[in-house]
Structure 1
Amino acid sequence: MAKTVSPASSRRIVIVTDAWRPQINGVVRTLESTGKVLREWGHSVDYLTPEEFWTVPVPTYPEIRLSLASRRAVFHRLAHARAHHIHIATEGPLGLLARRYCLERGKAFSTSFHTRFPEYLSARLPVPQDWGYGYLRWFHDPAANTLVPTPSLRDDLLNRGFSHLRLWGRGVDMERFKPGRSDVFAHLQGPKLLHVGRVAAEKNIEAFLSLDVPGTKIVVGDGPDRARLEKLYPEAVFCGYRHGEDLVDAYRGADVLVFPSRTDTFGNVITEALACGTPVAAYPVTGPKDILTDGRAGVVHQDLAVAVRRALMLTRSDASAHAENFTWAASARQFLDGLVPATSRVAGMAAAI
């Protein structure tokens, strides 16, 4: 059984991630928010990211860049970090090299499952999802612990043959995301229905834009599908990315956040919207059904239009009250509990490489 780490006991932690700034997504937000809390507790958190290496853009998705790091560079970097704990957050080039370093040097490590890449890939290319999950099982299998954000995702991955799964929930910054007045969408016809996130195929945004419901549909975010969707749905308002107080104002100015994705593993924008007092409408899938456990905060339904209509009847105070159940301190505690000493040897190293 993995040892736990006390917040009061300073540790050197290396987090390896292929997802990093300038990307704007839940993975980056989660890693930054967790690291902030850990540093406040006195731990040393070192991120090994694509910022340190040459990168190339992913075809059709230029905002995501893949590292061209060498084995020698990554091995040297990790060896000199002298980390008490190594956590591999992603399954890309840096994650693969860090995994190989740990296995060759006999160091135990943890991983985390953030993204359903098999579904994302099959949304673009004719690649069977089983192939993608086969790779992900291979990648995570030698980890002492694989951290997952929700109980429903844990159950799904167990059914797919994954093992050593532990919960690592998410939080929301209640100091930043909080109820308040906003006139940002006052000029638009109500009710104001908001979507926040990447404008990409895997987000299923057309399920939102095609809804036969009254009001104005607003999309905050950008991505490869934006130009196509703007032409198909000229009545919708596309705002591009919003940051800081502009993003908070967008949440506050909406009557409902509509979350049409069926492939997200959590959905940080859900807790952000709730914290601002905005009820949520979503499908009953992993992420939404784990977060929206109180029907006074949001509605999950197989018919998204039904979910929207019912969510419009909810109160903003109930939504913001439910968000208080999600703190980054609790999330960081679970992350620490899932770490393992890097000095431990990994069983079955040769077979895993």
Structure 2
Amino acid sequence: MSDDSISPSAPSAPLRICIAGAGAIGGTLAVRLAAAGHQVSVLARGQTLQAIREHGLTLHDLHGTAHARPAADHRPSFGVQDVIFLCAKSQDMAGLLPQVAPMVGETTVVIPTNNGVPWWYFHREGGRFDGQTVKAVDPEGALAAALPLAQIIGSVLFITAEVESAGVIRSVNPHLMVLGEPSGEMSERLLRVRAAVESAGIEARATDRIRDKLWTKIIANISTNPLSVITQGTLQQLYGLPELREVVSQIMRETLLVASSHGARVDIDPLTFLQLGEAMGAFRTSMLQDLERGRPLELAAIGDAVLEMAERYAIPMPITRAIVSLARFRGEAAQQQRAPQTPAAPQPAARAA
């Protein structure tokens, strides 16, 4: 069943929605959903939390400028929610899931929005690896144990956004969210969430093959994010400059083989994919933004997990592996440069012979 064959459900009543993580994506969702009349709360911390409490959230996107003042706290003080969007980086999920647990009731829907291969990938996958874990993103199985997997709906976000300052987000491209049950079921709760997202002015699609759409986004992520860290290139440069476009194309080809080996049907015309990417303009990938802000890079989910899934079928990925390794080196070097320097211990004075 294709996405287009699924008719949209009727607009739903306002929902209690928590956005866990108010960065570029979380802030975009919070503003749009609040503007649609949903009861939105935000789990945030630090300068972002302070900015939301004092000034609210401001979003500049293709709809214009919108402002929202959602309830905000660093604690899960909002009560049981209908929907929780997990908008943290994949490496931050282990710390986030125990925080949101008190807001999860029997019917709460939990929707991770992070990039790369999700920890729930093999939950009700139906194939030879059904029920297994992706070690790169959940090495000890802590994520799978933190929340009931049955309450997760998968999502793939095609939203480009950037934080201009604490509480202020800018997005210059159309918003699209694809939602799907890990089991492939077209459930009532799936259609209800889809309707809520659509009511917020975000194009929303429900699919019975969410992993196909995951691989589309995974291919986009892995072919550009690590390379952007090495080159400092924008999407326009990565997809447009011949020398970078060739590297992007090789990584795409390697990853497409992994996707098809895992049963995904990825409908990508490489040339069109490259042209659309170039048309996104001088936008910096989320991984490049993290590098520039001194944050850890999301390489486990975007890079290592794909390499792990390639190894399940003994698929070599030489170009991808090299680029991921170089990006990791660049990220670790940047972290070391930003780390506080410990003063060197005084050396004993030299004595004349």
TM range (shorter): 0.3 to 0.5
More helix by share: 2
Of structures 1 and 2, the one scoring higher in RCO (CA 8 A, sep 6+) is: 1
Query: TM-score, normalized by length of structure 1?
Result: 0.34
